[in-house]
Structure 1
Amino acid sequence: MCSGTGLSALSLTSSNASTSPTRYSSTSRSSGRDHRKYGVTDEHYTAVGNALIEALETFGGAEMWTDEVDSAWRNALAIISAAMMDAANAEDGPPAWSATVIECRPVIKGVAVVRLQLDQTMQYRAGQYVSVQVAARPRMWRYLSPATPYDGTGVLEFHVRQVTGGWVSPVMVNQTAVGDTWVVGSPIGALGIPENSKDLLMIASGTGVAPLRAQILELIRRGNTRKVQLFYSGQHPCDLYDLPHLWKLAEKHPWLTIIPVSEEDENPWWHTEPEPLPPIGMARRIVGKVGKVVTSFGDWAGYDIQVVGSESMVNSTKFRLRAVGIDVDTVRNDPTY
């Protein structure tokens, strides 16, 4: 049963959605585009909204379910569902794409690079992410970011980390074979190359480098000249699996700086390959928490900042950035990795 405090809190949330619709619009629109893969139609939004209102009114009781609460909820649901429906109806592509695995390459224990060939082209912004389903786990979706920008070929590259206890990622990493069929949902997400001309600070942990890597490759394609600083971090040195490739990019493009960071100075016992040495002129790996390392380089005022990694990494990095005067509301991040 809904308590008075709980219902009031929910009402406050719905009221905020009503009075500040733009705050919720981006998430709602992304969700609407993503829900197309389930076959959701406009009628479903109406039915779900009515059912939710009826349930809240029934269990909240006449004392708690006031006219004000009712109005706030109906207005909020109208705003959210309208944004979702508008975004879904504006799409002219398929609700999902079929894709064939053309490469699956383990890079370290628990991480694989998987390349797919889509059955038809899907346009997306470098930095966005998509939902992915594999045949062995039907109706179970995992969000992944393409590690390469759109190029018109229909080829997608994903960097997949096995999540301990996960249902989907272990199958993706350990059981994927060339020729397998995956299903890919619509591209969504707020990350991407900003329209402004600010220099870029990118902070990644592990496979979180994928959407930032895609943006760097897109900037190269555009002939970029703005400064880009990428702090690439992991628990161990071996977690920086894409470092040799990033070094090659930085050698060719002076505007790109790669700063490797690891929390531990040595690799785990099971990783026996030698650590790659940085080319001449490239920064050597720094040991420490990435947020602390980043802020030791300066306050980063005036930079466009993106952070991609686990929830704890994102939160701790934002905490460090706030401590040096950065407005963390301007720091962009999407789902955790």
Structure 2
Amino acid sequence: MSRPDAGTPVSTQLGEEYYALLARHDAMRLRRRLLAPERSPAPREPEPAGAQQRRYDRADRELIMRHLPLVTPFDGLIGHLYEVMFRRWPYLRSLFPASMDFQRRHLAHMFRYLIESPGSPEETAATFTRLGRDHRKLGVRPVHYETFEASLREALRVCGGPGLTAELDAAWTRMLRFAVDLMVAGADAALTEPPAWEGVVTAHERHGADLAVLRVRTHEPYPYRAGQYGAVASPLLPHAWRQYSMACAPRADNVLEFHVRRTGPGGVSEALVDRTRVGDEVRLGPPAGTMTLDGELTHDLVMVAGGTGLAPVKALLEELATRRQGHRRVDVYVGARAPADLYAARWLAELEARRTWLRVVPVFSGEPGPAGTPVGPVAEAVAAGGPWRERAAYVSGPPRMVAATVERLAGLGVPAERIHHDPVLGTEPVAGAGR
């Protein structure tokens, strides 16, 4: 390893060399893939008897479910897993943030998803290939999954005790390898794109005590669509990432907009709201999310936003405003606690005044607004404002609001395939959320 430059902090120099090494590693993997695409993967470590006689299936899921009391709540299992990992491979600790709380919750969500998910195989495959692509920004490589598997199996033995039979151990191993194979495939498919995008903050506007609108110019184009989200990291909290929706449609100048509400002390949101300034650097993970517009709109739209869930709705409205095709009718319900909390009120009013196809309905749950403004949960205001049966719906905001609104729309006859929202309650933070 080369000697750090004079005047450059050693931690910064080592970090730059580490990411340069990861880039070279990806380049070599891509070259091998191009030269020998059919080459078999390297053999795995020894596995429990029967672990690979079949793929993870319903029988494995039911077996794990029957014996979940052995390892739930997952806090103990996950605590043992990370203790084993960092004891046996201490260098891996540097890939994680100082606080492991978010990672522990996220891993518990993933275990629940694999064990209990009623989703289709295609949906599960899409979830884990996307995770594999996204984990490249953390410096995760295939060999790291092997250390994770070894740590999990040791943690299972500790927590499961005599109840962890060879059959149950094999079922857990099949479950993990099912997810890992998808994640590795997702990472390999993304070798031609950066693990992360670097950007500089060009504007930082405060709206009240706990909310900021950030504009970030990336050094190279960021390939997202209006309505999507991406993970954001600040150098103030190395290796800590939170997901935020882009609040603008793609622009030629590579500028992105994010709406960030501080949700607690010491997290990414606090760093971005209170301690980030113009000129600071941030990193972005790959874009994700399916809350995007169809190529050609075939239905009128109803959009529902709560809090900073307005961000993806704002991006979608910007895209609609620039389309040259005939516009569909769009009704937008924006939920806030009080009129003062509706931080984008002027932008919404100006857009509504210029677009005859747009109607904006503010909804306040705490303090009353102007006469005639709906008061109460935004889901109830939407339900009372229909009919929406022939509409396509886009919903973004706090998980409970999204879940309640989706339930009401479905009850009003909007088909599930026309209700668009990002994951809620158990997989990933929803658009606009994050600490």
TM-score using structure 1 length: 0.83
User: What amino acid sits opposite 1:32 in the alignment?
Assistant: G
* Distance of 1:156 and 1:19 partners within structure 2: 32
1:256 corresponds to: 358
Aligned to 1:4: 67
Structure 1 gap segments, 5+ residues each: 268-274, 276-282
Cα deviation for residue 304 of structure 1 reads 2.3
1:134-155, CA deviations, whole angstroms, 9 ceiling, x for partnerless residues? 1222222221111111123221
Match of 2:399 among 303, 311, 334: 311
Counterparts in 2 of 1:71 and 1:286: CA distance versus 1, 3 Å: same
Match of 1:124 in 2: 224
The structure with the largest strand share of the pair is 1
The answer (yes or no) to whether the contact 2:246–2:256 under 8 Å persists in 1 is: yes
| Residue aligning to 1:76 | 175
The alpha carbon displacement at 1:64 in A equals 4.5
Deviations 1:179-222 (A, max 9, x none): 11111111122321135623222110111110111112122223
2:291 is the counterpart of 1:222: no
The alpha-carbon distance between structure 1 residues 233 and 12, as it changes in their structure 2 partners (threshold 3 A), is: closer
Residue 52 (structure 1) shift:
2.5
Whether the aligned pair in 1 keeps the contact of 2:392 and 2:414 (CA below 8 Å) is no
What is the aligned partner in structure 2 of residue 198 from structure 1?
299
d(CA) in 1 for partners of 2:299, 2:413: 17
Kept in 1: contact 2:391–2:414 (CA 8 A): no
Whether the 8 Å CA contact 1:103–1:116 is kept in 2: the answer is: yes
Tell me, in whole angstroms, the C-alpha distance in 2 between the residues paired with 1:284 and 1:19.
Answer: 41
Task: Establish whether residue 115 from structure 1 lines up as the match of residue 203 from structure 2.
Answer: no
Which of 236, 260, 266 matches 1:160?
260
Equivalent position of 1:185 in the other structure: 285
Name the CA distance, whole Å, in 1 between partners of 2:342 and 2:118.
44
Residue 35 (str. 1) matches residue 135 (str. 2): yes
RMSD (Å) for aligned C-alpha atoms: 3.1
* Cα distance, 1:124 vs structure 2: 0.6
The number of aligned residues is 321
Give, as a single letter, the amino acid of the residue that structure 2 aligns with 1:4.
Answer: H
In the other structure, the counterpart of 1:320 is: 408
Q: What are the within-5 Å matches in structure 2 for residues 231-246 of structure 1?
A: 231-246=333-348
Gap change, CA 1:39 and 1:323, over 3 Å in 2: same
Query: Which residue does the alignment assign to 2:241?
Result: 141
Q: Give the Cα–Cα distance (whole angstroms) in 2 for the partners of residues 62 and 77 of structure 1.
A: 21
Q: Aligned with 1:108: secondary structure?
A: coil
Residue 382 (structure 2) aligned to one of 273, 294, 299: 294
* TM-superposed deviation, 1:237: 1.0
SS at match of 1:286: coil
In structure 2, relative to structure 1, the CA distance for the partners of 1:56 and 1:39 (3 Å cut) is same
Counterpart Cα distance in 1 of 2:368 and 2:359: 23
User: What is the match of residue 169 of structure 1?
Assistant: 269
Q: Measure how far apart 1:297 and its partner are.
A: 1.3
Structure 2 residue runs without a partner (length 5+): 1-64, 75-110, 423-428
> What SS is found at the alignment partner of 1:287?
coil
Q: Which amino acid aligns with 2:353?
A: E
Identity across matched positions, percent: 33
2:366 counterpart SS class? coil
Deviation at 1:323, TM superposition (A): 4.0
Contact 2:71 2:156 (C-alpha < 8 Å) held by counterparts: no
Displacement of 1:264: 2.6
Contact in 2 for aligned 1:299/1:326 (Cα 8 Å): no
Amino acid of the structure 2 residue aligned with 1:170: E
Q: 1:323 to 1:255 in 2, by over 3 A?
A: same
Q: Give 1:270's aligned residue.
A: none
Could you tell me how far 1:103 is from its partner in structure 2? Answer: 0.7
After superposition, what is the alpha-carbon deviation per residue over 1:3-57, rounded to whole angstroms, capped at 9, x for unaligned? 9343599999646679942231222122112111111112223432344345435
Give distance in 2, aligned partners of 1:17 and 1:250. Answer: 41
| Structure 1 residue 102: Cα displacement | 0.9
Structure 1 residue 299: deviation in Å?
Answer: 4.4
> 1:284–1:173: structure 2 CA closer, same or farther, 3 Å change rule?
farther
Distance 2:384 2:185 in 1: 44
Give how far 1:168 is off: 2.3
